[in-house]
Amino acid sequence: MKGNNIYKPVKAKVREVIDESPTIKSFVLEPERKFYFKTGQFIEVALDGIGEAPFTPSSSPLIAEQLEVTVMKTGHVTEKMHQMQGGETVGIRGPFGRGYPLEKLYGKEVLIIGGGCGFAPLRSLLYNLEAEKEKIKKVTFCYGSKNPKECIYEPYIQKLRNINEFEVMRTVDDADETWTEEVGVATVLLDKVDVNINESVAVVVGPPIMMKFSVQKLEEMGYPDKKIYLSMEKNMSCAVGKCGHCMMGEYFVCKDGPVFRYDEIKDKPDIWK
């Protein structure tokens, strides 16, 4: 997107709306021209007459002809998006911010912890790592959700489980008779992972409370703070470091993040709010 006006949305057609869970939908967007982003960066999606909201693409950053965002219904804009059927036109601005430092993951065992709709930006990262699996030792993905119906991307989970370099572990807070995997919060999975911490980096995305306790557990396991990467989803309204709504200490999450090393932000106020 170099050279483009970051304030001017690019028109994109909603090609498909996918029900991922009772509260989460994915939107397949086809921009009027190729749209490039790096995994972990975010975009602003604008609905005419409604408003604009930030989302980190959940699709592969290696595909520029179309992209996906996965959206939980939590507010005015997301509620209107959930009413879409496909065929509508939206605007997209970006990409913005700092994504995942892939070069820091190469040659490593990558431990990824995700919760709820936090799987959305992680799917983009997983697509990227899958495409470059010869550059990594292995990926262990730990995913937690409220219940089996809220476990998203089931087909992609099954695909990952068929790749030698990838291991997937899942848990739910409340199981039903169909669930055969772990039960409990996402951190219970960290007691079961088999990683060489000296050769590993960790990535955490999810609800703030999940991220807080996941980081505490990773520290107990021996991960140094500089080897823990977090994607901070604050109120990124303007996306360009002007409005200040997303400030965390001296950092603008929209411009300096949303991906940070934990040692960069651990002493900043209210990082888990």
Per-residue pLDDT tens digits for 74-114: 889 999 999 999 999 999 999 999 999 999 999 999 999 99
Separation of alpha carbons 186 and 239, rounded Å: 30
The two structure tokens encoding residue 165: 């370099």
Name the pLDDT band for 188 (thresholds 50, 70, 90). Answer: very high
Distances, alpha carbon 3 to alpha carbons 6, 63, 74, 94, 111, in Å: 9, 19, 33, 11, 36
Distances, alpha carbon 150 to alpha carbons 82, 183, 187, 270, in Å: 16, 14, 18, 28
Q: Determine the average pLDDT of the residues in 190-199.
A: 95
The two structure tokens encoding residue 173: 């807070």
Peptide bond into 121 cis (omega under 30): no
Separation of alpha carbons 271 and 250, rounded Å: 12
* Single-letter amino acid, residue 46: A
Residue 122 has pLDDT above 80, yes or no: yes
Asked if 151 and 178 count as a contact pair (C-beta separation under 8 A), the reply is: no
3-state secondary structure of 122: helix
Residue 172 has, within 13 A of its CA and on its CB side, a CA count of 15
**pLDDT at 1 (0 to 100):** 47
The two structure tokens encoding residue 23: 């509260």
Asked if 175 and 168 count as a contact pair (C-beta separation under 8 A), the reply is: no
The two structure tokens encoding residue 252: 């603008």
**pLDDT at 8 (0 to 100):** 84
Non-local (6+) Cβ contacts of 158 within 8 A are: none
Residue 239 has pLDDT above 80, yes or no: no
Distances, alpha carbon 128 to alpha carbons 124, 139, 183, 265, in Å: 6, 12, 29, 25
Q: Determine the average pLDDT of the residues in 242-267.
A: 86
**pLDDT at 4 (0 to 100):** 65
**pLDDT at 233 (0 to 100):** 78
**pLDDT at 55 (0 to 100):** 94
Q: Determine the average pLDDT of the residues in 186-199.
A: 94
Q: Determine the average pLDDT of the residues in 28-48.
A: 95
Q: What percent of the chain has pLDDT over 70?
A: 99
Higher pLDDT, 181 or 238: 181
Q: What angle do CA 203, 43, 1 make, to 5 degrees?
A: 110
Instruction: Give the torsion through C-alpha atoms of 87, 72, 155, 194, to 10 deg.
Output: 150
* pLDDT averaged over every residue in the chain: 92
**pLDDT at 3 (0 to 100):** 53
Name the pLDDT band for 148 (thresholds 50, 70, 90). Answer: very high
Handedness of CA 133, 70, 148, 272 (dihedral sign): positive
Residue 121 has pLDDT above 50, yes or no: yes
Give long-range contacts, CB 8 A cutoff, 24+ apart: 210-218. 210/113, 210/115, 210/116, 210/118, 210/144, 210/185, 210/186, 211/115, 211/272, 212/272, 213/185, 213/187, 214/113, 214/115, 214/186, 214/187, 214/190, 215/262, 217/187, 217/190, 218/111, 218/113, 218/190
pLDDT tens by residue, 49-61? 999 999 999 999 9
Residue 267 has pLDDT above 90, yes or no: no
